[in-house]
Amino acid sequence: MTAGHAASPPPRPRVRAPQRLVFSFLGSLVLDRGYPPIGSRVFLHLLGDLGVAEPAARATLARMTRRGLLTRVREGRTARFSLTPLAADLLRAAKPRVDSPAPFTHPDGEWTLLSYSMPESRRDLRHQIRARLVWAGFGGLRDGLWIAPGRVDIAAVFHGPEFAGLADLVDAFHSVPLEGTDMPRLLRRAWDVAAIRAEHEWFIATWTRDRAQGGNALTRLTVLGADWLQVLRTDPGLPAEHLPDGWPSAESAALYRERVAALAPDAAGELRLLLEADAARR
């Protein structure tokens, strides 16, 4: 850690969306662990510890159920929730990048260019497509033209029944810049480079201070995962040679892995105790 980070003021508090917290919890501690459907009391307890009021927590679970991300079953007076196949697939697809020791590194000099058009009859998918493109590392150069570092699997970006029939509307190329291309200028056109750096620096300042914290590893790991997902959405992995000196992405990635290693064992134990207490109340 640099002296600059050690001397920096505390980072500004951030409000995390409850749905992102739920996804972080499920992806970090529940996915593919073989747990039965989890009672609403467990979710309410976790979100309550994170400052989410009970009505907002219940509304989040209901909204995720309506969107096909959670399956809800009744067991007496208790509602229990599990990941739908769709949500499980989304989390599994994200996991390699979330867990990667070098999530911001791509083969030198390779880029993916993509252009697509959206018929009026499918405009309801525009937000989903943009969200998927951003997660895949794309930034917008101009209307309808996107660029991402590295070789992006376009079929994976547009995978899913909701995108059926759109393949013919997508054109994509793997390419290299022509000699003399001003890559720093191009990157600033497609991405807010200063905002990307600020996101890394906020993450580093926040989670460096977590080393001195104690207690409740479950909530801390949940928040850590939500914050890391935000970093990954913000930074597509821009090549360091085109960025300002002291670019902080490698420091962020190392810190994330360190905090996961420190928190995950105790968080898993705390979750088991919650699940046992919930089961005892059936």
- Could you tell me if residue 49 is inside a domain? yes
Same domain, residue pair 243 and 141: no
Query: Is residue 214 located within the same domain as residue 249?
Result: yes
Among 52-61, 79-88, 122-131, 270-279, where is mean pLDDT lowest?
Answer: 122-131
- Tell me, yes or no, whether 232 lies in a domain: yes
Residue 4 lies in a domain: no
Residue 6 has pLDDT above 50, yes or no: no
| The last residue of a domain, from among 151, 176, 201 | 176
More confident site: 221 or 171: 221
CATH of the domain at 135: 3.30.1390
User: Does some domain include residue 181?
Assistant: no
Q: How many helices (H) and strands (E) does the chain have?
A: 11, 7
DSSP state of 211: G
158: closest CA among 122, 109, 111?
A: 122
Q: Identify whether residues 116 and 138 lie together within a single domain.
A: yes
The amino acid at residue 108 is D
Residue 45 lies in a domain: yes
221: CATH: 1.10.10.10
Task: Determine how many CB atoms are found less than 10 A away from the CB of residue 221.
Answer: 25
Residues paired with 171 in a beta bridge: 115
51, 147: one domain: no
pLDDT in tens, 84-104: 999 999 899 899 999 999 999
C-alpha of 24 from chain center? 8
| Phi, psi angle pair for 245, to nearest 5° | -60, 150
Query: Are residues 258 and 149 part of one domain?
Result: no
Residues 90 and 120 in one domain: no
One domain for residues 49 and 83 = yes
Q: Which of 275, 250, 157 has its CA nearest to residue 197?
A: 250
E strands, the chain, where?
38-39, 70-75, 78-83, 111-116, 139-142, 145-149, 170-175
| 77 or 71: which leads in pLDDT | 71
Total domains present in the chain: 2
Percent of all residues in the chain with a pLDDT value above 70, rounded to a whole number: 91
219 and 133 both lie in a single domain? no
- Which of the listed residues 119, 148, 176 is the one where a domain comes to its end? 176
Look at 18 and 4; give whichever has higher pLDDT.
Answer: 18
Select from 143, 176, 209 the last residue of a domain. 176
Q: Please report the pLDDT score of residue 240 as a whole number.
A: 83
100 shares its domain with 196 = yes
Same domain, 29 and 62: yes
Which residues neighbour 125 within 8 Å (Cβ) at sequence distance 6 or greater? 118, 162, 163, 166
Looking at the fold, whether 127 and 171 belong to one and the same domain comes out as yes
247, 122: one domain: no
In a domain, 3, yes or no: no
**Cβ proximity of 225 and 27 under 8 Å:** yes
Which neighbouring-strand residues pair with 239?
none
Query: What digits encode the pLDDT tens for the residues 272-281?
Result: 999 998 887 7
Asked, for residue 1, whether it belongs to a domain, the answer is no
The answer to whether 109 touches 176, Cβ cutoff 8 Å, is yes
Cα–Cα distances (Å) from 199 to 76, 155, 227, 239, 270, in that order, read: 45, 29, 9, 17, 30
What pLDDT, on the 0 to 100 scale, is given for residue 260? 97
Could you list the residue range(s) of the whole structural domain that residue 217 is in? Answer: 9-104+192-282
Average pLDDT over residues 64-91: 92
Does some domain include residue 187?
no
The strand pairing partners of 74, in sequence order, are 79
